[in-house]
Amino acid sequence: MKFILIADDENTPNAFFPFWKIIIFVMVTIIVLILLFPKTLLQEVLADNRPAAVKLSYLKSFSRNNPNNPLLIFYLIEQEIEMGQITEANNEIEHFKKISSQEDIKSQLMWIDYLLLRYRSYKAKMNSPERIADLKKMREMSSTLINMNLDQHQLRILAWDNISLGNANVALKIYTDLMNTNQLHTPQEFAEGGSVAMQNNSHRESSAFYWAAYHKEIYIIQKRQYAVDAIKALWAGNYVNEALSLASQLPPIMLNDRDLLLLLSRLALAANKPDLAQDYAIQALLLNQKKTHE
């Protein structure tokens, strides 16, 4: 076998740091952080539900220091499946079975089986017999899983999977249960419920989700958007008077928007309230003139 050495071009700038040094630096940083702030860092890593290579590196480092922590190994398996590291995940599954108690392992193992099936179905060719069979099995498994002891993140994954599987009603049940049991926390999570409800043509439920997102949001522009979504959801269901009632609860700072005022003017006309429509239209005109002269 011949090896050809090619000299570097003197005019070609070298990278500031070689790639292998960057990798070593990242790994050393991870180890140092784990030693200094093990519990805090682990909580922050687990709080981020998005699959990512850095998160996976964190979990692998933590698991090496805590090889008999079933919860940590479980999160590692989830992440490995999300990242397509199926061989590694299968190896961890065998270890997970050995260190887990028999009380809670059933739902966790079924969830892992679901994730593996989910990954396989997404990798299969569209409309292939294998993919069709996998999707059918996913529907069957999801109907069982929603009644098992899963956390909020897992249930939200199931909800959106069921929308893709044509079971929007199952997705709405999941989000409704999460809302009723106070397991939705962020504005985005409540807004997800609003979107799911709209896909079920459940307009009042959708409005309730978006209105909850409105109350949770702290930034004015996004807060106003959630209010608009809540009002539009009721209007789409022809609940125009309820939509106007909701709009009447908005403070002046929320109404400081021409497009929203014009929307409310059209809504008032739809509710056969021309005086209110005129009032909103005049506010929109005055606001437009004020901004023109600023």
What residue ranges do the domains of the chain occupy?
19-97+110-124
Could you tell me if 105 and 97 are in contact, meaning their C-beta atoms sit under 8 angstroms apart? yes
* Per-residue confidence (pLDDT) for residue 189, from 0 to 100: 97
Least confident range of 32-36, 57-61, 288-292: 32-36
176 CB burial (10 A radius; 0-12, 13-18, 19+): middle
Measuring CA to CA, which residue among 150, 93, 142, 97 is closest to residue 121?
142
Can you tell me the mean pLDDT for 135-145? 92
Least confident range of 47-56, 139-148, 206-215, 244-253: 47-56
**Average pLDDT score over the chain:** 84
CA 160 to chain centre: 9
- Give the confidence band of 6 by pLDDT, cuts at 50, 70, 90: very low
272: left (phi over 0), alpha (psi -120 to 50) or beta: left
- Give the confidence band of 103 by pLDDT, cuts at 50, 70, 90: low
| Lookup: tokens for 58 | 């964190």
* Per-residue confidence (pLDDT) for residue 292, from 0 to 100: 64
Least confident range of 122-136, 199-213, 220-234: 122-136
Can you tell me the mean pLDDT for 175-190? 96
Entry pTM: 0.77
Query: According to the per-residue pLDDT averaged within each range, which of 26-30, 62-66, 146-150 is highest?
Result: 146-150
More confident site: 186 or 73: 186
The neighbour count for residue 50, using CB atoms within 10 Å, is 7
Long-range Cβ contact pairs of 279-286 (< 8 A, separation 24 or more): 283/255, 284/258
* Per-residue confidence (pLDDT) for residue 35, from 0 to 100: 47
* Per-residue confidence (pLDDT) for residue 56, from 0 to 100: 79
Residues in the chain: 294
Helix 129-145 × helix 105-123 angle, to 10°: 150
Can you tell me the mean pLDDT for 20-30? 57
